[in-house]
Structure 1
Amino acid sequence: MSPIILPSDDGGTAKASLAALALLEAVRAELERLQLPLELPGTQEARNTAKASLRQLEDYILPRYRSLEAPLLAVVGGSTGAGKSTLVNALVGHPVTRAGAIRPTTRQPILLHHPQDTDWFSSTRVLPSLARIRGERAPAGTAATEAGPTPDPAAMNSLALVADPAVPKGVALLDAPDVDSVSDDNRELAGQLLAAADLWLFVTTANRYADAVPWRLLLDAASRDILVAVILDRVPQGAQTEVSADLRSMLGRQGLTGAQLFVVPETALDELGMLPSEATAPIRAWLEGMAADVSGRADIARRTLNGTVRALSGKVELLALAALDQLESSLQLTDDVVAAFEDAATKISHATSDGSLLRGEVLARWQDFVGTGDFFRALESGIGRVRDRVGAFFRGQPPPAVQVEAAIETGLQAVIVAQAARAAEDADQRWRADPAGRALLSAQDLSGVTADFPATVAAEIRAWQSDVMALIRSEGAARRSQARWLSFGVNGLGVVLMIVVFSLTGGLTGAEVGIAGGTAVVGQKLLEAVFGEDAVRRLTHEARQSLEKRCAALLAGQQQRFLERIGPLSSGSSPAVERLEALAKRLATLGEGA
Structure 2
Amino acid sequence: MSPTNSGNATDNGAGARVQDAAVSLLEQVRGELASLQLPLELPGAADARRTAARAAGQLDDYILPRYRSLDAPLLAVVGGSTGAGKSTLVNALAGHPVTRAGAIRPTTRQPVLLHHPADAAWFTSTRVLPTLARIHGALAGAGTPATRAGATPDPSAMQSLVLVADQAVPEGVALLDAPDVDSVADGNRQLASQLLAAADLWLFVTTGNRYADAVPWKLLVDAASRDILVAVVLDRVPPGAEDEVAADLRAMLTREGLAESKLFVVPETALDPLGMLPPAGTAPMAAWLGDIAADAAGRAEIARRTLNGTVRSLSGKVSALAEAARDQDDAGRQLSDDVTAAFTDAQARISKATSGGSLLRGEVLARWQDFVGTGDFFRALENGIGRVRDRIGAFFRGQPPPAVKVEAAIGMGLRAVIVDQASHAAEDADQRWRADPAGRALLGTDDLSGTTPGFPAEVAAEIRAWQGDVLAMIRAEGAAKRSQARWLSFGVNGLGVVLMITVFSLTGGLTGAEIGIAGGTAVVGQKVLEAVFGEDAVRRLAHEARQSLETRCTALLEHQQQRFLERIGPVLDGTAADRLEGLAVELAKLGEGA
Q: Same fold (TM over 0.5)?
A: yes
Judged with a 3 Å threshold, the aligned counterparts in structure 2 of structure 1 residues 336 and 234 are, in CA distance, closer, same or farther, namely same
Q: Residues 46-195 of structure 1 correspond to what in structure 2 (within 5 A)? A: 46-144=48-146, 146-151=147-152, 152-195=154-197
Counterpart residue number, 1:547: 549
SS at match of 2:440: helix
Q: Residues 458-537 of structure 1 correspond to what in structure 2 (within 5 A)? A: 458-504=460-506, 506-537=508-539
Counterpart residue number, 2:389: 390
Of residues 280-289 and 9-18 in structure 1, the stretch that sits farther from structure 2 once superposed is 9-18
Structure 1: gaps spanning 5 or more residues: none
Assess if the C-alpha contact under 8 Å between 2:109 and 2:150 holds in 1: no
CA RMSD in angstroms, aligned pairs only: 1.5
Query: C-alpha displacement at 1:505, in angstroms?
Result: 5.0
Is 1:294–2:293 an aligned residue pair?
A: no
Assess if the C-alpha contact under 8 Å between 1:352 and 1:502 holds in 2: yes
Q: Residues 342-353 of structure 1 correspond to what in structure 2 (within 5 A)? A: 342-353=344-355
Inter-partner Cα distance in structure 1 for 2:3 and 2:234:
37
Query: C-alpha displacement at 1:467, in angstroms?
Result: 1.0
Could you give the per-residue CA deviations for residues 467-515 of structure 1, whole angstroms, max 9, x where no partner exists?
A: 1111111111211524321211221111111100001353322222111
Could you give the per-residue CA deviations for residues 128-150 of structure 1, whole angstroms, max 9, x where no partner exists?
A: 00000011111222213x34433
Assess if the C-alpha contact under 8 Å between 1:480 and 1:486 holds in 2: no
SS at match of 2:114: strand
Inter-partner Cα distance in structure 1 for 2:310 and 2:159:
24
Judged with a 3 Å threshold, the aligned counterparts in structure 2 of structure 1 residues 193 and 357 are, in CA distance, closer, same or farther, namely same
Query: C-alpha displacement at 1:303, in angstroms?
Result: 0.6
SS at match of 2:97: coil
Query: C-alpha displacement at 1:176, in angstroms?
Result: 0.3
Assess if the C-alpha contact under 8 Å between 1:365 and 1:404 holds in 2: yes
Could you give the per-residue CA deviations for residues 215-241 of structure 1, whole angstroms, max 9, x where no partner exists?
A: 110011001000000000010110000
Query: C-alpha displacement at 1:153, in angstroms?
Result: 2.3
Counterpart residue number, 2:26: 24
Inter-partner Cα distance in structure 2 for 1:33 and 1:7:
38
Q: Residues 384-423 of structure 1 correspond to what in structure 2 (within 5 A)? A: 388-396=387-395, 397=397, 399=400, 400-423=402-425
Judged with a 3 Å threshold, the aligned counterparts in structure 2 of structure 1 residues 7 and 122 are, in CA distance, closer, same or farther, namely farther
Query: C-alpha displacement at 1:385, in angstroms?
Result: 5.4
Q: Residues 423-434 of structure 1 correspond to what in structure 2 (within 5 A)? A: 423-434=425-436
Is 1:589–2:589 an aligned residue pair?
A: yes
Give the aligned residue type for 2:313.
Answer: A
Judged with a 3 Å threshold, the aligned counterparts in structure 2 of structure 1 residues 557 and 230 are, in CA distance, closer, same or farther, namely same
Query: C-alpha displacement at 1:2, in angstroms?
Result: 3.5
Inter-partner Cα distance in structure 1 for 2:333 and 2:383:
55
Which of 342, 366, 369 matches 1:367?
369
Query: C-alpha displacement at 1:22, in angstroms?
Result: 0.8
Is 1:326–2:325 an aligned residue pair?
A: no
SS at match of 2:167: coil
Q: Which stretches of structure 1, 4 residues or longer, exceed 6 Å deviation after superposition?
A: none
Inter-partner Cα distance in structure 1 for 2:256 and 2:5:
29
Assess if the C-alpha contact under 8 Å between 1:85 and 1:98 holds in 2: yes
Query: C-alpha displacement at 1:5, in angstroms?
Result: 5.0
Assess if the C-alpha contact under 8 Å between 2:114 and 2:163 holds in 1: yes
Assess if the C-alpha contact under 8 Å between 1:97 and 1:149 holds in 2: no
Counterpart residue number, 1:258: 260
Counterpart residue number, 2:216: 214
Structure 2: gaps spanning 5 or more residues: none
Query: C-alpha displacement at 1:356, in angstroms?
Result: 1.1
Query: C-alpha displacement at 1:14, in angstroms?
Result: 2.5
Inter-partner Cα distance in structure 2 for 1:7 and 1:511:
98
Could you give the per-residue CA deviations for residues 540-570 of structure 1, whole angstroms, max 9, x where no partner exists?
A: 111101100100000000000000000112x
Judged with a 3 Å threshold, the aligned counterparts in structure 2 of structure 1 residues 496 and 108 are, in CA distance, closer, same or farther, namely same
Judged with a 3 Å threshold, the aligned counterparts in structure 2 of structure 1 residues 387 and 573 are, in CA distance, closer, same or farther, namely farther
Q: Normalising to structure 1: TM-score of the pair?
A: 0.97
Assess if the C-alpha contact under 8 Å between 2:2 and 2:304 holds in 1: no
Inter-partner Cα distance in structure 2 for 1:585 and 1:5:
25
Inter-partner Cα distance in structure 1 for 2:211 and 2:329:
42
Judged with a 3 Å threshold, the aligned counterparts in structure 2 of structure 1 residues 558 and 383 are, in CA distance, closer, same or farther, namely farther
Q: Residues 232-251 of structure 1 correspond to what in structure 2 (within 5 A)? A: 232-251=234-253
Assess if the C-alpha contact under 8 Å between 1:341 and 1:423 holds in 2: yes
What percentage of residue pairs aligned between the two structures are identical? Answer: 73
Could you give the per-residue CA deviations for residues 383-441 of structure 1, whole angstroms, max 9, x where no partner exists?
A: 67566333211133163311111111111000000000000000000000000000000
SS at match of 1:156: helix
Query: C-alpha displacement at 1:8, in angstroms?
Result: 7.6
SS at match of 1:230: strand
Judged with a 3 Å threshold, the aligned counterparts in structure 2 of structure 1 residues 505 and 512 are, in CA distance, closer, same or farther, namely farther
SS at match of 1:173: strand
Q: Normalising to structure 2: TM-score of the pair?
A: 0.97
Inter-partner Cα distance in structure 2 for 1:14 and 1:90:
40
Assess if the C-alpha contact under 8 Å between 2:150 and 2:157 holds in 1: no
Give the aligned residue type for 2:511.
Answer: T
Of residues 475-484 and 407-416 in structure 1, the stretch that sits farther from structure 2 once superposed is 475-484
Inter-partner Cα distance in structure 1 for 2:177 and 2:16:
36
Counterpart residue number, 2:283: 281
Q: Residues 301-340 of structure 1 correspond to what in structure 2 (within 5 A)? A: 301-340=303-342
Inter-partner Cα distance in structure 2 for 1:520 and 1:5:
88
Judged with a 3 Å threshold, the aligned counterparts in structure 2 of structure 1 residues 303 and 384 are, in CA distance, closer, same or farther, namely farther
Of residues 27-36 and 13-22 in structure 1, the stretch that sits farther from structure 2 once superposed is 13-22
Query: C-alpha displacement at 1:316, in angstroms?
Result: 0.3
Assess if the C-alpha contact under 8 Å between 1:138 and 1:148 holds in 2: no
Inter-partner Cα distance in structure 2 for 1:7 and 1:451:
73
Give the aligned residue type for 2:51.
Answer: T
Could you give the per-residue CA deviations for residues 496-536 of structure 1, whole angstroms, max 9, x where no partner exists?
A: 11100001353322222111110111000000011111111
SS at match of 2:355: coil
Judged with a 3 Å threshold, the aligned counterparts in structure 2 of structure 1 residues 535 and 6 are, in CA distance, closer, same or farther, namely farther
SS at match of 1:560: helix
Counterpart residue number, 1:268: 270
Could you give the per-residue CA deviations for residues 23-42 of structure 1, whole angstroms, max 9, x where no partner exists?
A: 01100000000000000000
Could you give the per-residue CA deviations for residues 332-367 of structure 1, whole angstroms, max 9, x where no partner exists?
A: 101110110001000000000011111111111111
Assess if the C-alpha contact under 8 Å between 1:98 and 1:148 holds in 2: no
Give the aligned residue type for 1:565.
Answer: R
Assess if the C-alpha contact under 8 Å between 2:471 and 2:493 holds in 1: yes
SS at match of 1:99: coil
